[in-house]
Amino acid sequence: MNHALRLLAALLLAPLAALHAADTPAKKSNVLFIAVDDLRPQMGCYGDPDAITPHMDKLAGRGTVFERAYCQQAVCNPSRASLMTGLRPDTLRVWDLKTHFRKNQPEVVTLPQHFKNHGYHTECIGKIYHDPRSFRDPASWSIEEKLAFTDEVGGKYVLEENLKAYDPAKGRQKAAATECADVPDNAYIDGQVADAAVESLRDLAARQQPFFLAVGFRRPHLPFSAPQKYWDMQKPERIGRVPNPLPPVDVPQIALHNWQELRGYSDIPALGPLTPEQVVHLRHGYYAAMSYTDAQIGRVLAELDRAGLRESTVICLWGDHGWHLGEHGLWGKTTNFELDTHSPLIIAVPGQAAAGSRSQSLAEFVDVYPTLVELCNLPPPARLEGTSLVPVLRDPLQTVKTAAFSQFPRAMDGKQLMGYSVRTDRYRLTRWVHQDDLSKVYAVELYDYQTDPQENINIANHPANAGLLARLTAQFDAGRRGAAKKGNP
C-alpha cells in the first residue's frame, strides 16, 4: 500500500517537479509543437494593441513569453533546419532555400527524431521543414507528413494563390499578394491543417504512447490570403502607417534588399515604391492573415483541452523569423535587422510556477531543442549548439547567455559575403565578411537600442565608439567559437 501511494504521488507531482523534468517512465510529457510561417512578434501578448490574436495571447498566459528570442538566419529553410537540428547554419552549411540539412549532415538526429528514438509517436501536420517535396525527412516522423506540401491539398489550394491566375498546364503561379474571399476557414490550407491536427489529437488521446505533434501554419506568409471575416476584424486606419519607413542612416547597401519575394506577385511593381494605398492594404492583409492563423491555433488548443491532454503536454509556439512591413523601406525578411531576426517564442509547461511570465533573457532558436529535451526528461543528444532555457522557465529573471547570433549571405560587387550579427542586451553588431576569408571585412553596422530602439542610425563609423566596437567584436569572435553562454565575454 505504501509503495502504491508513493507511486501515485510521484505521478501527480511529476508535472510540477522541475517543470516536467521529473516525469516517470510510465508517464512522459507530450509535446505540441506549433510553427507559424513569417510571424513577427506582433501579437497582443508582445504588446501590439491592434493585433487580434486572442488564442496566442491566452497561450502566453499559460507559459513564458520570450521577448527577445532570435532565429539563426531570417529565411525559412536555414531557420527551420537550425531549430530542428539544434545546429547553427554554418555547421549545417545550410544558408539557402535549396539545401536539405541532411546533404551535409546525413547522420544528424533531429528534434522529433530524438523523441521518436525514445519511445514517442512523432507526427507532422503542415509546414515544419521547408516546403518543397525534396525536404521530406522520414527519419523524423513515425508516419508520413500530412499537408506538408501545398500541391497535395488538391483543388482547394488553388484559391490560396488566387483562382484567376492558376494555369493547370503551368502549375502554381504567383498572383496577387493578397486575397479576401468569403469562404470558410478550411477553404485555405491552414484551416485544413487545423482540421487534421484536431483529428490527430483525438486519436493521440486514446493512445498509451507519448506524442510529439508538430503543427505548422503557413500564414501570415505571403500571399496574405484569409477569409473575409478576418479582414473585417482589422482597423486599417490604425495599422496602415509605417512607423519608420526610411533605411538607417549610414547603413551599408549590402544590409538592404529590393524585396524580391514581394515583387514576385502580380499586383506589385517590379521596381520602385508602393503606393500609399498598397502599403495600407498589405499591412491590413498581414494582420488579417495573422488573426486567421491565430483562430486555427485556437482550435487546436481547444481540442487539446477537450481531449484532457493539457496537463500532460508541453506547448512550444514559434515563428520561424520576423518580417518587415515597410519599416526601413523593406518588405519581407532576409536581413540581419532586428525586425527580421527577432521572432516569437512561447513555451507553456503544465504546473509552471511562472505561468504568464515574460522574460527579457536572450534566447536563440538553437535553444529550443535542448529545452524540450530537458523538459521531457530525455537524455541530451551528444551534439547540440544551443543552451536549455529551462532555468528561464523556472525564473524569468534568469539569463543563460549574453548574446544571440544570426547571419545572412549576400553577393555584392562579385563577392560572396556573409553578414554575421551578434545581438547583446543593448547592441547589435553586424560584420559583413568575405566567405572565403572571414578576416576580410566588407562593411560593419552597429546599433544601440538604448538610444535608438528602432535601429535607425548605424554608429559603427563614429570614432567615439572605437572601444565599444572592439569589445563587441571580441564578443562576436567568442560567440563564433560557441562561447556565448552566460559568464563568457
Euclidean distance between CA atoms 31 and 309, whole angstroms:
10
CB 375 within 8 A of CB 367: no
45 is annotated as an active-site residue? no
Euclidean distance between CA atoms 448 and 456, whole angstroms:
9
221 is annotated as an active-site residue? no
Q: Residue 311 is placed in which grid cell?
A: 496537463
CB 284 within 8 A of CB 234: yes
Euclidean distance between CA atoms 335 and 344, whole angstroms:
17
76, 124, 180, 376: the active-site residue: 76
CB 213 within 8 A of CB 32: yes
Find where cell 491536427 sits: 197
List phi, psi (to 5°) of 260.
-60, -40
**First and final CA of the chain: distance in angstroms?**
55
Euclidean distance between CA atoms 167 and 169, whole angstroms:
5
Identify the bridge partners of residue 202 per DSSP, sorted by sequence position.
Answer: none
100, 130, 321, 342: the active-site residue: 130
**Residues annotated as catalytic (active site), given as ranges:** 76, 130
